[in-house]
Amino acid sequence: MQVQNNTVLACVDGSGLMPAVCDYAAWIAQRVNAPLTLMHSIDHHPETASTLDLSGNIGVDSQDQLLHDIVALELAQNKLKLQQGKLIMRAAQQRVERAGIVKPDLHQRHGSLVESLIELEEYLRVLVIGVRGKVHEHQPDKIGAKLESIIRSLHKPILVVNGAFKVPERIMIAYDGSKAADKAVDMVASSPLYRDLLCHLVCVNQDDHGGVLLEKAANTLKQESGLKLISQKLSGNPEQALCEYQNRFDIDLTIMGAFSHTRVHDLLLGSFTVKMLAQSHKSLLLLR
């Protein structure tokens, strides 16, 4: 099935965050008048006979029977995954239809989720995905095993959902003067998604340069959008300061650049993006 251009793509997996993923995707699609696609990825991990060492301990007849049983089990597991996928897609479809989406596109893929999203990137307007899937859904300090790879691989906006849906009224731009942060400002200024919302433009900086950065970004937002704007310079540990600000002012959605440093820098010092994903209890819209 062909994915429409400029689509809002929601990754659905049957986890506890799936309803919120559907709700956010429906909200975005309606606000920007874009098509909505629901995608479920079935990642098969076949353990074929060629990868197994069955020699030495069992006879030939037993070996043949074991291979037969493994193949039969594999087929049964694949059928079960397909049935589960259909149920997940049906539930997601019903969810977005109740939110007002008429005939969302349904797209089921087989194989790696990361590779599937890379193949579909050219058609995306925004990707909506939960911060963690079923494997980590009861571990609030963890992020999904594939999420960092997805964020690093795509160059389209990614909304990472980290809690129940609430119609956003207050947004925050975490601004640091980077290219990704400037991109966030330009996007907020021009997109109908943020119209009439209260925008907090926040910079965490230890020196006076933060005020200069804020003024420049604030001028862009004031000139090109109808947003109600609050500018604020913070100090201290960036992720801690931003998370505290989110909670203090009841921010519904935070917009920020992702992975502005090199991979080596992230490995040595830890990624600010990953820390925000793990520590924030609010949804994050990430830009590369």
pLDDT in tens, 94-110: 999 999 999 999 999 88
CA distances from 273 to 154, 259, 285 (A): 15, 6, 11
Going from N- to C-terminal start, the domains of the chain cover 1-162, 166-262
Q: Residues 1-162: name the CATH superfamily.
A: HUPs (3.40.50.620)
pLDDT in tens, 123-137: 999 999 999 877 767
pTM equals 0.84
Residue 264 contacts residue 141 (beta carbons within 8 Å): no
pLDDT in tens, 214-256: 888 898 888 766 678 999 998 888 889 999 999 999 999 999 9
Give the CATH class of 166-262. alpha beta
Residue 37 contacts residue 9 (beta carbons within 8 Å): yes
Residue 157 contacts residue 285 (beta carbons within 8 Å): yes
- Say if 1-162 and 166-262 have the same CATH topology: yes
